[in-house]
Structure 1
Amino acid sequence: MARGIFAGPAIRRFGAIAFGSLITLPSAFPPGSEALAGGLSVREQSVFSQGASFAGAAAGGDLSSSFWNPAAMATAGYGLATESHFSLIVADIDVRAESVSVLPGSLMAPSTTAVNDVSKIDPIAAVAASYASWRVNDEFVLGLSISAPFGSQNDASDPAWSGQYHYRASQLLTVNINPIVSYQISPTLAIGAGPQIQYMLLKLKANPSGALAPPQRRSIVEGDDIGVGYTAGLLWQPTPATSIGLGFRSAVSHNIEGDASMRGGMLATGVGLGTVAFEPVDFSAKLETPEMVTLSARQSITSTTRLLATVEWTNWSRLDEINFMATRMGGIAARPFSPGDSVNILDFHWDDGWFFALGGEWDYSSRLTLRAGAAYEVSPIRNATQRKINVADSDRIWLSVGASYAATESMSFDVAYSHIIFDDAPIDALTNSPASPTTPVRRFVGRAHQSADIVSVAMKSKW
């Protein structure tokens, strides 16, 4: 649940909003898009790997493997090589409300209302990632990865829907720049590492009060930060037919700084109490993105066929609670926030995420390679009370096909298609904590139904 915002006789807490969208250079999600990996992860970083449902993703094959394993840069040839990966995501996401309740412990009388309205999100999203390498000598390769590891964006199709006090819109933007150095220790073993420099923007919106309709008023929490982390990995090729990759992406610590505000008119202080002005409140909030460990293998079966596999763990259980703490005075004059007060709290309490993939490749000719794969992803959200209205994540199955075509010696293309099937996703969410007796605590019970299709293309060049 999300707790706290905006002090006042009738408003002491802010309706919960979980994270939102991805926009990066060169990756972007337009309004209404949804990240299609466990939790808030964005998996669409490689068209080459997507064609096999990301089986073998950390075991080399092309430069994009360095997203999961920086040691994969060791497979680069001499000279400058670049890759640009683009994905078009078409998702069908419906969040259907079943009941909304006002719980005991506030000025409003307890009540439960059966409802049957839907917040529909049918985004068409564009995602991209870029990679580059330069081989210095037989041992060292310098590389660069630009990606967006986390994010998802949602906008309710109707701002006055039943879940308006929990969420109206949310946005998370991440841009991750990862310079890489790989070193060939021996003919069979390479290592790689590099820093992550990650920009994050977070924006949360909801309807803050039952006394004011959403078109007249909205509460907004918005802030950003630049954090640092690192990546490391190894690539072991014990035989020419076998490649095993192990990659690690560290947590990135962020101290989000921004302000919480009310926009769209005066603030309603309660029935019959009139309106007052709300002074924006500056805040800071500590947030750490999860670590990720990926183990992949590529095994040649014949001279033209290869078996691919991946197991991945993401430490989403570290995403427990995010507390937005006021750093200066603000709010309403009668009951302002002081430095150190909690402006808002986002409760997650998620479990760890897991991803299992198996696929294969077949060289149809010297120019054309075909691949296919399937994966099962275990979501970090395991029950209805962990699920946010706008992060209605659930376990899913990936089914993918893809191909690579070498147009010339210096230019090649990848294409991929994936269909994602989601488990049913029940939701049981509270807007806030019942700690304040003047705050209407609302419970939303509903269900999300979702599916997605992804079409991707990549261009690779050797200069």
Structure 2
Amino acid sequence: MFLNILLVILCFISCLVVKAYGAGIAIYEQGVSGIGNAYAGAAASAEDGSTIFYNPAGLTKLTKPDVSLGAHVIIPNAHFKNTGSIGYNPITRSTYPLTGNNGGNAGVTVVVPNFYFSAPVSERLVLGLGVNSPFGLQTEYDKNWVGRYHAIKSKFITINLNPTIAYKVTPKFSLGLGINFQWAEAELTNALNPIAFLRFGDITTQDGFAKLEGDDWSFNWNAGLLYDLSEKTRIGLSYRAKLTHVFRGEVNFSNIPSNSTNVFKKDDAKARLNLPPMISFSGLHKINKNWTILADVTWTGWSRFEELRIKYETLITGDTVITTKWEDCFRYSLGLTYQPNSKWTFRTGIAYDETPISSDKYRTPRIPDTDRFWLAFGLGYNLSENAKFDLGYVHIFFKKSHIDKDPVREDLLRGGLKGYYRGHVDIISVQLRYNF
């Protein structure tokens, strides 16, 4: 029965795409009960099976077999404004204004699901399984936008299987450990500048197009500890190890003029993506029987992501390189929970999420990331003794972000994209939880 449920969940997740709304391309939306608190206290609260992701030691707080299924509807708005993008002609060594519109809304409305199951083996030992998507990305622009030589469509999907074990060392102290088996798929498209075809004798004003696809399996681990300082106060510390995907796939070209088809042709490709380690420290304190305050600080080690380099098997055009030079960053959150009775739970929270992007010149339209501020609300309702429903809503304010690509330093053929982004995100989350 459980295996059948898991297969349905995996099929459901594999049909969906995600957009990153944590630091860089990290996704914090891994559970629904915590989203109402902006994930403040996530490594300490251990309210449902999503603790498998936030702190596996929290499984010892789930004393009955527990299953939860959640989904997040993410509605992004990200709009670019061109402020003087220019191209560079290496033959005449002159610049010219890039043509095209502003690209429309680069955000794509998506659904991000997650599934968790836990089962106590004894009073001290608990086993669990999480199915989620810790990293992801999707942006898509109009095909004729001004930055089309940098990016049109960018999609990155992960599906993560996270078997977990937790052990209560003492009545106050628990440890947890999980292994993550992660599948990832990537798709990148962009236009090709007609200037690229001149060296092969093709004179045209029409763009070519390139599409790169690849996938990979990789694994890492996560661990955590949970400690009750008192009956009212608890702290949690969790760690997720770094992970590296080496994508293998192929690149395909279209709308290529005749003389250049021998150069821009289908080929095998490989790319390495270094994903970061993460450390979270959380705490909660029950002020009284109705009110609880929660807090969290999360560090993400994005400095290991310095570039995305795409290598080709036989193409003479050379590697495609996207320079990132990201930096480590922090996320801070504070939340409050009110439980007036045994039926209802009300939550709110705020968070400040730093971007890992170090400079405007390293911001890419594939990931136009920036600092953001979360304002979150949520509620929980006990449908019965065993069933619970959770609902959450978040509005994320994006700080205005600039992009300033040098047409010579970045890429002679991609052009110097210059402008700024404005945007925001709305997230609606629902979850059903059942314990046996």
TM-score of the aligned structures, taking structure 1 as reference length: 0.85
Aligned to 1:446: 419
Select 1:402's aligned residue among 361, 378, 381: 378
Aligned to 2:24: 39
Select 1:171's aligned residue among 142, 152, 155: 155
Taking the aligned partners of 1:404 and 1:366, their CA distance within structure 2 comes to 10
Counterparts of residues 25-424 of structure 1 (less than 5 Å):
26-27=12-13, 34-59=19-44, 60-78=46-64, 80-103=65-88, 106-113=90-97, 117-121=101-105, 122-156=107-141, 158-211=142-195, 217-266=208-257, 269=260, 276=262, 278-326=264-312, 328=313, 330-331=314-315, 336=316, 342-424=318-400
**Which has the larger helix fraction?**
2
Taking the aligned partners of 2:15 and 2:294, their CA distance within structure 1 comes to 29
Tell me by how many angstroms 1:26 deviates: 4.5
Contact 1:427–1:445 at 8 Å: present in 2 too?
yes
* Equivalent AA in structure 1 for residue 52 of structure 2: S
Taking the aligned partners of 2:88 and 2:263, their CA distance within structure 1 comes to 28
Cα 1:361/1:38, change in 2 over 3 Å: same
Tell me by how many angstroms 1:115 deviates: 6.7
Cα 1:116/1:260, change in 2 over 3 Å: closer
Tell me by how many angstroms 1:390 deviates: 2.6
Contact 1:402–1:416 at 8 Å: present in 2 too?
yes
* Equivalent AA in structure 1 for residue 277 of structure 2: E
* Equivalent AA in structure 1 for residue 211 of structure 2: I
Taking the aligned partners of 1:257 and 1:316, their CA distance within structure 2 comes to 23
Contact 2:150–2:414 at 8 Å: present in 1 too?
no
Cα 1:422/1:353, change in 2 over 3 Å: same
Contact 1:415–1:458 at 8 Å: present in 2 too?
yes
Aligned to 2:434: 461
Aligned residues: 419
Aligned to 1:14: none
Contact 2:14–2:159 at 8 Å: present in 1 too?
no
Cα 1:321/1:277, change in 2 over 3 Å: closer
SS at match of 2:59: helix
Cα 1:257/1:56, change in 2 over 3 Å: same
Taking the aligned partners of 1:107 and 1:75, their CA distance within structure 2 comes to 67
Taking the aligned partners of 1:374 and 1:73, their CA distance within structure 2 comes to 25
In structure 2, runs of 5+ residues without a counterpart are 1-8, 198-203
SS at match of 1:58: helix
Tell me by how many angstroms 1:267 deviates: 5.7
Deviations 1:131-157 (A, max 9, x none): 11011001110001111111111111x
SS at match of 2:417: strand
Contact 1:260–1:343 at 8 Å: present in 2 too?
no
SS at match of 1:165: coil
Contact 1:97–1:163 at 8 Å: present in 2 too?
no
Deviations 1:330-388 (A, max 9, x none): 33xxxx47xxxx53222110111211001111112111011111111111124211211
Tell me by how many angstroms 1:228 deviates: 0.8
Tell me by how many angstroms 1:76 deviates: 1.3
Aligned to 1:10: none
Contact 2:16–2:112 at 8 Å: present in 1 too?
no
* Equivalent AA in structure 2 for residue 262 of structure 1: F
Contact 1:47–1:458 at 8 Å: present in 2 too?
yes
Deviations 1:192-235 (A, max 9, x none): 00111111111111112225889863112221110110000001
Cα 1:114/1:197, change in 2 over 3 Å: closer
Taking the aligned partners of 1:96 and 1:159, their CA distance within structure 2 comes to 16
Higher relative contact order (CA 8 A, sep 6+): 1
Aligned to 2:201: none
Deviations 1:23-72 (A, max 9, x none): 976447867x6322221111111111110111111112222122111111
Cα 1:432/1:324, change in 2 over 3 Å: farther
Contact 1:84–1:130 at 8 Å: present in 2 too?
yes
SS at match of 1:186: coil
SS at match of 2:303: helix
Cα 1:434/1:460, change in 2 over 3 Å: closer
In structure 1, runs of 5+ residues without a counterpart are 1-22, 270-274
Taking the aligned partners of 1:24 and 1:208, their CA distance within structure 2 comes to 36
Contact 2:193–2:414 at 8 Å: present in 1 too?
no
Tell me by how many angstroms 1:431 deviates: 6.9
* Equivalent AA in structure 2 for residue 51 of structure 1: G
Cα 1:416/1:218, change in 2 over 3 Å: same
SS at match of 1:287: strand
Provide the alpha-carbon RMSD of the alignment: 2.4
